[in-house]
Amino acid sequence: MAITINNTEKPSGKSFQNIWIVVEADGDKCNFVHTAPADLDGDDLQAYVDGREDFYRRELLRNMYEGADCYDSSLEDWDKWIADGRVNPEITEERIVTPAQPAVDAVMGERQVVVESEVEEEVSTTEIVEVDGKFVEKTTTETVTKTVSTPQVTKHKLYNEDGEEIGEHEVPVMESYEVSPAVEAVEETSEMVVVRPETVVEKVAWKDTAE
């Protein structure tokens, strides 16, 4: 439909003119202010604004339905979106709950075998006490149990180059131990989460409408 031009104003020395027009958008007749080339008037100006009707309508719809998914889409997409109920659909995305973890072998080390044993030994302590007005040095002996760590070795006879036994040679007894345990592989798990629920965008009336 043709756009109604209510008024025009040509600022001095400018290449444009201000135009006050009425554009129909989503059933409302909206007063809209925009610009046009300054050298247009009459039928030429009317043809210019009529040719830009889709642009004007889309600008009005953008203000009426802020946040619409079709904000940057064509006017045809806008009309379909409004006809379908002005619904921004639900948006979901897949998020990782448990990241994948490859299997890791146990790390083993080697160390000398150490055997702990308990031994008893006598420990003496000396103190000075007062007895019948005299200071007496008194020694007390008690038996205590201690834990002793003994590195284990295997003893071998030791010979010189002539084959004569000259003593003993000790070889440490070694054992393997786990430095860090093995880790089993873990498969990645994920879930779909809603990052934006479905929403109906409410219309905000244009600030200036015509009867």
49-54 long-range contacts (CB < 8 A, ≥24 apart) are 49/3, 49/5, 49/19, 49/21, 50/2, 50/3, 53/1, 53/3, 53/23
Let me know if 52 is exposed, middle or buried by CB neighbors in 10 A (0-12, 13-18, 19+).
Answer: middle
Identify the pLDDT of residue 211: 59
What's the pLDDT tens digit per position in 149-205?
A: 999 999 999 999 999 999 999 999 999 999 999 999 999 999 999 999 999 999 998
Contact between residue 127 and residue 198 where contact means Cβ atoms under 8 Å apart: no
Within 13 Å, how many C-alpha atoms sit on residue 160's CB side? 4
Tokens of 167: 């003593």
